[in-house]
Amino acid sequence: MSKAKTLAKRVRQGRMPQQAPNARSVAYSVLTKVQEQDSYANLLLPHVLGGSELSTDDKRFVTDAVYGTLRWRGLLDAVIVSAHGRSLNSINKRLVNVLRLGAYQWLFMNGAEYAVVNESVKLAKKRAGQQTTGFVNAVMRKIVARTLDQWRETLSQESSYEDEAERLAVQYSHPAWIVRELAAAWNAGGYAPEPSVKESGVNEELEGLEGLEAMLAADNEAPAVTLCVRPSLADMDAVYDEVEALGGRVQRGELSPYALRVRGVNPQNLASVTEGRVGVEDEGSQLAALALALAPVEDADGVKGAEGTEDAAERGERWLDMCAGPGGKTALLASIAQEVGATLSANEPHEHRRELVRENLKAIDAGTLGEISGRDGREFGATFPGAFDRVLVDAPCSGLGALRRRPEARWRKTAESVQELASLQKELLNSALDATRSGGVVAYVTCSPVLAETRDIVSAVLSARSDASRLDVPSVLEELNSSIPLPASVDSASPRDMQLFENIHDTDQMFIALIRKI
């Protein structure tokens, strides 16, 4: 058989390597998997791009298109529905992401009108067949007839929103229930001036509208990658130089003394990261771990105070991270424990996450580490009563504080799913308090600003106990860094929790409460 015939046969049999798909096709595939298979974009996208033959510019395009389309899906869908004149359910499901990608390119990526329409039509033909091209061409031509500002104005005029939350939900591409939760968290956070409902002209649940809109806008911005240079394991200047040597841009963090914010470099290409001396950890998460390490503990009789980790070795302090996976906060605590002579144990009930904890702790001296266990965290209070000086409860939560990093989460979570976690969160906090000695401290932390899984959990647990009380988190963090934006003190005699906000701290929206066992 001739080479030509052999080649033709291989093509017919589907054995011929195909030409590398273009960037829009790759972006479409990732979006479809995220939607249909509940994949996580931050895990799927690096894998797909790493195995592709796309150019560096095309990889940047795919990254922007995927994350941007996920973030702005609510607004994009509203634009598509308006241009189509019918509901999204009336559109061939294979075409929805084609139209979302095209709309995002036009509204947010400064794509040329002709190119956006033409490429959308070509993608539709490839993914859904020739018969769909006329429809996509017609809808896309209506979309490119208006700018982003014009579309926002059009949607405001066309829609009869039930309340302000509904309007903001479309304008900033969040489900309305999340808008309401963020509004409640902002109003309870202590950062906004006393609002005037009459002057703002909004319903009471959305007081402090300016701060709320800033929060929603920040949710749609891509965050920088933040490194945690683990104390006792790595040197800040050396890691700074390492990033620059690989062509990355780097600046010191503004909140944590161990933070470096980097762009233009894959952290996995840094030797300090692969060796476990440095980790990828948002500054908000770093502050949560540091708050626990720096909180003052007392001797068992409650008389002698000890600030932070001072005399930790002399006291033989035992620390516990009760919900440790994947282990970023654990490693920061462990590296501090290694410096001060404390011992840290870690617990993670899920085996695959427990392996991640071990990986994060690989650079820690064995003498610093206690047990790395897989227990149900609710068992610790009964199994190890009063055994620990400091306990971190990084409780399972909705994750709504990390929507910048996981934009698809806003479309998957429901108000009901948040409420379902409340019982577990209370049980874990009670268990942690039972496992803490008299005078010791528990940090209750969530990557969420939602009151039902933050302040309400702490208040509910403490209202049923007489052996624990809140500490003032802002005071602890102010000792760490006086430039950290802190909430206003309503009553100096009333200890405060601390809610971090993206628009103020440029971190994930972490909640931190410190509780002393009496």
Q: How far apart, in whole angstroms, are the C-alpha atoms of residue 361 and residue 276?
A: 7
> What distance in Å separates the CA atoms of residue 102 and residue 119, rounded to the nearest whole number?
8
Q: What residue ranges in 190-331 does DSSP mark as E strands?
A: 225-229, 249-252, 259-263, 278-280, 297-298, 305-306, 318-321
247 labelled binding-site residue:
no
The answer to whether the annotation marks 326 as part of a ligand binding site is yes
- 386 marked as part of a ligand binding site: no
Per the CB < 8 A criterion, the answer to whether 228 and 183 are in contact is no
**157: burial class by Cβ within 10 Å (0-12, 13-18, 19+)?**
exposed
Strands of 278-280's sheet, edge to edge?
A: 249-252, 259-263, 225-229, 278-280
Q: Which helix (H) or strand (E) holds 214?
A: helix 209-219
Residue 6: count other Cβ atoms within 10 Å of its Cβ. 10
Phi, psi of 509 (to 5 degrees): -85, 75
To 5 degrees, how large is the angle CA 263–CA 294–CA 219?
Answer: 35
DSSP string, 218-244: HHTSPPPEEEEE-TTT--HHHHHHHHH
Could you give the C-alpha distances from 125 to 30, 128, 135, 138, 143, in angstroms and in order?
A: 18, 6, 11, 14, 19
* Rounded-to-integer distance, Cα 389 and Cα 442, Å: 8
Q: Is 115 annotated among the ligand-binding residues?
A: no
Consult the annotation and say whether 282 binds a ligand: no
Q: Is 440 annotated as a binding residue?
A: no
* Cα angle value 476/477/480 (rounded, 5°): 100
Q: Are 213 and 498 in contact (CB under 8 A)?
A: no
- Of the candidates 185, 195, 192, the one whose C-alpha atom is nearest the C-alpha of residue 211 is 192
**In this structure, are residues 188 and 208 in contact, taking their beta carbons and an 8 Å threshold?**
no
- As annotated, the active-site residues are 447
Say whether 228 counts as a known binding-site residue.
no
> 224: which 2 tokens?
């920088």
Question: Nearest 5°: phi and psi at 369?
Answer: -90, 135
376 has binding-site annotation: yes
325 annotated ligand-binding residue: yes
Residue 327 assigned as binding residue:
yes
What is the SS3 assignment for 502? helix
Residues making up the annotated binding site for S-adenosyl-L-methionine are: 323-329, 348, 376, 394
Binding-site sequence positions:
323-329, 348, 376, 394
